Structure 1
């Protein structure tokens, strides 16, 4: 019998000067924040459409921040705080919490508009026969990490925000004797050059 699945979205508040700062030279602080907000809403919408299980938005600043107090979540979605530490520590904390509740987990960010409900369904399907699933991104990171089993080493000592994140994570999965499914490569939106990978209607609205 398959375990229930939880989708945990990691997100920064899409505020000027906080979110998508590497896009500021191209879009300005307000424009970068607006795009971050659009990607956040898109990610929430795709997770809700996939109907795979509970959707949790795990945020920074903490969920008692004024921005999140006024934020409208999709029906059934919940809000949680990322807590402290580097990205690995925060991801491990969220994944371990789901595992402690007997759930499998899909961990994803909000930087990949190419990640759709169909991609999420494919990841969930892959988890039915694998221990882990990864959607790598063109820059060497990953847009999604799905896990049936959580091991601390998958998140510790990873060179976050570099081109080796996905490769290092995959190596750790293998070291943990976990079966890993490597899915199609998608495009994150981090740098001005990445804007070409936005949906056409989004690019036209910039």
Structure 2
């Protein structure tokens, strides 16, 4: 079975979601990050996987449900930290972030199916901003991420090209919207209106259509 890894930062004011400030204060931005992380972990906790890893920058808090192994992130740039995540499992692994609180079991189902790794060598979930929200590898190889320029509008395209360039068969997951800016908050909250992220967004004045 697959190991599912969530890469995250502890929701500490001033250290997470700094692009949300302004209009949100650092404390408000951190509370949105905590809600997004809690929603993500709740979804992951219910999935049928071999192991659940929280690959964390910081210390765990009360938002962490049971059933996760907490592993500190390595140092370096984001490409190096993502590569470090793929050094953890001993078999197939699926990595997701904390910025898509609307993620559902159905979004992840293709990469977690019993025959997932018979059908493809990798799974790729593009983000609406040009990045990616999920990456799965049948045989985790950190070098597939090292050197890929991160946090740009072409990150997803370049990461996918790295996979195809290695001769991997890729199964595509759906496109999801990350919460990166204030404009994303209401839009993402509307996609999962019963979640903690949506509740917190409404408390902070977001208008959900």
Which of the five TM-score ranges fits, normalised by the shorter chain?
0.7 to 0.9
- Structure 1 gap ranges (5+): 62-66
CA RMSD of aligned residues (A): 1.6
Kept after mapping to 2: 8 A contact 1:143/1:186 = yes
1:74 alignment counterpart: 65
* 1:121 and 2:112 correspond: no
* 1:141 and 2:149 correspond: no
Distance 2:43 2:127 in 1: 18
Give the CA deviation at 1:41: 0.6
Q: Which has the higher helix share?
A: 1
The worse-fitting range, judged by mean Cα deviation, of 117-126 and 74-83 is 117-126
Give the number of equivalent residue pairs: 194
Task: Give TM-score, length-normalised by structure 1.
Answer: 0.88
* 1:180 and 2:170 correspond: yes
1:205 alignment counterpart: 203
Give the CA deviation at 1:72: 5.5
Distance 2:28 2:175 in 1: 27
1:64 alignment counterpart: none
Task: Give TM-score, length-normalised by structure 2.
Answer: 0.86
Kept after mapping to 1: 8 A contact 2:86/2:142 = no
Among 156, 172, 184, the alignment partner of 2:146 is: 156
